[in-house]
Each structure stands twice: as C-alpha cells, then as structure tokens.
Amino acid sequence: MAYGIETTDLFDEELKAIRAFDRRRIVDEIKAHLTDQPTSGTRNRKCLDDFVPSFEHEPPVWELRVGDYRVFYDVDETARIVSIRAVRLKRPGQTTQEITDERNDD
C-alpha cells in the first residue's frame, strides 16, 4: 500500500521560489521515491538521526537529494503519511545543518 504525501505551507512557499524546471523535477522525484518505502535508505535518501532542523518536524527527519536541492520530510508509519517539510538548495561546501538553519532566497 502506497504512502500518502502531504506538504506543509513552508514547503509550498519554498517550492514556489524555485525555477519551474527544478520545481518539476523535485515534485517528480518526491512521487517516485517517497510513495513506496520512504524510510528505506538509498543513494539519494537518508535518515538524519539526531538532527534538529529549524522547521517544524517529527523525528526522525529524512533527506531526499534531488540534484543540488534537498527535500526534508518525516514519516508517520501508522497513518502511512509522508510529510514534506522543506526544500533547500545545498551549495558546495555547505552542511545540511547550515541549509536548514536559514531559508533560501533563490
């Protein structure tokens, strides 16, 4: 049974600020990678144990890599819901903590 995908207002706001080409790719990757087995680690998806981002979340937070962007989400296994919390641009040399502490203006 597939997981439902819910987005937060923060994610929706951040997604709108991203150029259309990248926005489309991000949405496609979310659908492709998070509707089935969103809590299985892969090359582009990992659990951020003991990570506390600046945005609202339910631990543990997961990260999906989509090119230079990082999609942050958490999962309610009982309800089978993936909550997409934020999407941030990760520039070379930046840490995950740095990109979650401040919002992108891109």
Q: What's the mean pLDDT in 85-95?
A: 95
**Parent domain of 46:** 4-101
pLDDT at 103: 58
| CATH classification of the domain holding 93 | 3.30.2310.20
Residue 84 near residue 8, CB atoms below 8 Å: yes
pLDDT at 18: 97
Q: How many domains does the chain have?
A: 1
Q: Is residue 29 part of a domain?
A: yes
* DSSP secondary structure, 44-98, as one string: TEEEETT---SS---SSEEEEEETTEEEEEEEETTTTEEEEEEEEE--TT--HHH
Binned at pLDDT 50, 70 and 90, residue 87 comes out as very high
CA nearest neighbour of 64 among 92, 25, 102: 25
Percent of the chain with pLDDT over 90: 83
Q: Is residue 106 part of a domain?
A: no
Q: Is residue 46 part of a domain?
A: yes
Q: Is residue 94 part of a domain?
A: yes
Q: Is residue 22 part of a domain?
A: yes
Write out pLDDT tens, residues 19-75: 999 999 999 999 999 999 999 999 999 999 988 898 999 999 999 999 999 999 999
